[in-house]
Amino acid sequence: MPGLKEIRKRIGSVKSTKQITKAMKMVAAAKFRKAQTRILELRPYAHKMHSVLTGLAGTVEKGHPLLEVRPRKKVEVLVLTSDKGLCGAFNTNIMKAATRLIKEIQSEEKELSISAIGKKGADLFKRKDIAVRNSWTGISGRISYTNAKEIATDIIENYTNELFDEVILVFNEFKSALVQKVSVVRLLPLADVAGAAEHPMTQDEPVNFLYEPSQQAIFDALLPKNLEIQVYRALLESQASEEAARMTSMENATKAADDMIASLTLQYNKARQAAITKELMDIVGGVEALKQ
């Protein structure tokens, strides 16, 4: 059984850990509120842009390289994780889903390339000796539209140059402070927009808009922009999910520290009581020995 000094030392250590986890929870809560606001404000914009594109797709005459559906020979998997840990199963769930997807693609005997957003995913692929085509790290907590544009530009260039025929993104979609859902989304080709172009929507009373400079020019400009918005939205979804997961994880760690402190305190009191009882027994035994 550990001594009183060792138990006191462990109690002090757990109390220090509790202060750290409590502070981290408060920091994560502040970051979460900001991240939640950003993603909730972006979603309507992303939905509206997609609506405009699908509406234009049925009216333009010329297609676009991003809509081109080629034979599925090489697939790019883009895995979005965090740069830091201490966020529960946030990264683990993403990597499990990404690993399943990679195995499925390999079982179909397709060529595979992998890109990673976030240090945790890049490090894991490196430890498993899995080649990573490109990686972006150090953007968690300070996401900007520039980051999304850089990633989207890389994807667009390689897709149009036929380096790969399909791009799939794996990320955590934010649902609530307690729920984050791993989503697997096909970024390219833009199937929804391509479908709208092949099957234009019919309306009983069509609305005649005026387009400047032209419908085709607007369509060609918005398609790459739409991909940037999709990547940007995924980054913000992931950021909100990460901070929510970290907030929950730190709250659970703080509660676990409270339970451990209570258990150690009880153990300390029992050990202290046993030590006092032993000392009393020694005193009583000494007194009895003197009487004899």
Cβ(81)–Cβ(67) under 8 Å? no
Active-site annotation holder among 14, 39, 56, 87: 87
CA 178 to chain centre: 14
Question: Which tokens go with 226?
Answer: 């739409």
What secondary structure letter does DSSP report for 182?
E
Q: Omega into 213 within 30° of 0, i.e. cis?
A: yes
d(CA 38, CA 250): 23
d(CA 264, CA 55): 65
265 as an active site residue: the answer is no
Q: 3-class DSSP state for residue 82? A: coil
Q: 3-class DSSP state for residue 172? A: strand
- Segment 37-46 long-range contacts (CB within 8 Å, at least 24 positions apart): 38/236, 38/239, 38/240, 39/174, 39/233, 39/236, 39/237, 39/239, 39/240, 42/229, 42/232, 42/233, 42/236, 43/233, 45/229, 46/229, 46/230, 46/233
CA quadruple 196, 200, 204, 205: dihedral sign: positive
For residues 223-236, one letter each, b for 16 or more C-beta atoms within 10 angstroms of the residue's C-beta and e for the rest, the string is bbebbbbbbbbbbb
Q: What phi and psi, each to the nearest 5 degrees, are found at residue 99?
A: -65, -40
Q: Which residues are designated catalytic?
A: 87
